[in-house]
Amino acid sequence: MPATMKLLVTTISIVLGGLSFATLNVYTTNTELREQLQTALSYREQLNEQAGEYARQRIEWNARLAELETQLLSTATQLNNLNEALQEAREQVNPDYELLVERAHQEVARNTPPQRTREGGMNVLSDPDAAFTVAEASVDSNYSEFFNLIRLSPTERETVGSAIIDFTANRLQLLQDMISGDLSPEIAATYFGPNALMNYVSQILSEEQLEQLQDYEMAANQQSTRDTYAGIFSGNNSTISGLTQELVLDVLMEELYSASNNFGAIVSTSGSLTESMGDRELAFERTRDRLVNDLNQAQLDQYDRFAQEQSNTINFTLTASGTDGEQQQVQVMRVISDNPPN
């Protein structure tokens, strides 16, 4: 074969070999690119799915956020309405009674001679600040169980507690005037008559809560009076003790806190101290009639002395926690039934 032909064949072989290598290299590169493209497409699909999921979540979150905003707005509106209702209820309770107190003080100012002075431990309670301080301690001590019993919310508890404190403070300020006969029957009945406290808070408590308050107040007053009388009967040389004392106290509580005795109120429904003290004297007489067959003569004699002393006496007991945690009692006594002020 001529040399020229060999060279041509060799050249063609080299070219074909190069083309084969290039073709193989291109094929390998294309395969890699396809794999990379497939991976990229897979990533894009995953990203699209994630983007769709994020979009759905964002829509759900926006809807939930809008719902929460609506709920918050509704709650804020309800709270505002509740505050307005409570404020309205408080305004319904306080103004009328504050007007009554103001009228009472005006009556006292008109009817009291300028030179008249009062002496005794109740003078300090005529001061509004002192009366409020005593009333606040008294209500906190005496009514905490009642507040728990009727399950008031903190806001309701504050409203009811404030009303009872106001009532008690006003009552303390007017007590000396009532004993001296300087109050009109209307004012006296408002603060010292049967169910006075229940009437005062009737606008802020339900009927059921008012009945619970009435029962609670009755039980507390009976227990206070019972403890006071038990102390009297437990003195030296007492013939009324033990089971006999318990019997006497049981009958006394029934009579003294009966409807016939104005449920133990200081004045009658009409605001008369004269009537209430007459009813009180009859309650002691009914008690004696019921006990006459259960007591011996010595015990009856002691009871008669006790009844004589107590029938012409007003017991006004206020229990409050002292600074040392002990119970303190403030008692107003010695209003003579032979000459009651009204």
pLDDT for 130 equals: 87
Q: Is the pLDDT of residue 92 over 80?
A: no
Q: How confident is the model at residue 216 (pLDDT cuts 50, 70, 90)?
A: very high
Q: What is the average per-residue pLDDT within 130-146? A: 87
Closest to 196 (Cα-Cα) out of 114, 273, 263, 121 = 263
pLDDT for 332 equals: 39
pLDDT for 323 equals: 42
Instruction: Give the position of tokens 């507040």.
Output: 147
Q: Is the pLDDT of residue 31 over 60?
A: yes
pLDDT for 204 equals: 93
Q: What is the pLDDT of residues 164-175, one digit of tens each?
A: 999 999 998 898
Using a 10 angstrom Cβ sphere, with 0-12 exposed, 13-18 middle and 19 or more buried, the burial of residue 17 is exposed
Pairwise pLDDT comparison (113 vs 54), residue with the higher score: 54
Mean pLDDT, the chain, as a whole number?
Answer: 75
Q: What is the pLDDT of residues 300-324, one digit of tens each?
A: 999 999 999 887 676 665 554 444 4
Q: What is the average per-residue pLDDT within 274-291? A: 94
Q: How confident is the model at residue 15 (pLDDT cuts 50, 70, 90)?
A: low
pLDDT for 185 equals: 92
pTM of the model: 0.60
Pairwise pLDDT comparison (114 vs 239), residue with the higher score: 239
pLDDT for 84 equals: 58
pLDDT for 193 equals: 92
Q: How confident is the model at residue 114 (pLDDT cuts 50, 70, 90)?
A: very low
What percentage of residues in the chain have a pLDDT greater than 70? 56
| Tokens linked to 119 | 């002496």
- Ordered alpha helix ranges (H), 181-241: 185-192, 196-200, 207-233
Q: Out of 23-37, 118-132, 286-300, give the one with best mean pLDDT.
A: 286-300
pLDDT for 191 equals: 92
Q: What is the pLDDT of residues 177-197, one digit of tens each?
A: 887 788 899 999 999 999 999
What is d(CA 314, CA 341) in angstroms, rounded to the nearest whole number?
Answer: 13
CA separation (Å) from 233 to 132, 164, 193, 230, 241?
A: 34, 33, 28, 5, 7
pLDDT for 181 equals: 81
Pairwise pLDDT comparison (226 vs 35), residue with the higher score: 226
What is d(CA 178, CA 170) in angstroms, rounded to the nearest whole number?
Answer: 12
Q: Is the pLDDT of residue 281 over 90?
A: yes
Q: Collapse the DSSP code of 328 into the 3-class scheme (helix H, G, I; strand E, B; otherwise coil) and give the result.
A: strand
Q: What is the average per-residue pLDDT within 73-86? A: 52
Phi and psi based region of residue 332 (left: phi greater than 0; alpha: psi -120 to 50; beta: remaining): beta
pLDDT for 65 equals: 47
Q: How confident is the model at residue 254 (pLDDT cuts 50, 70, 90)?
A: very high
Q: What is the pLDDT of residues 32-77, one digit of tens each?
A: 767 776 776 676 667 656 655 655 555 454 455 445 544 544 554 5
| Tokens linked to 292 | 């006459």
| Tokens linked to 195 | 């169910």
Q: What is the average per-residue pLDDT within 118-134? A: 70
Q: Is the pLDDT of residue 150 over 80?
A: yes
CB 325 within 8 A of CB 140: no
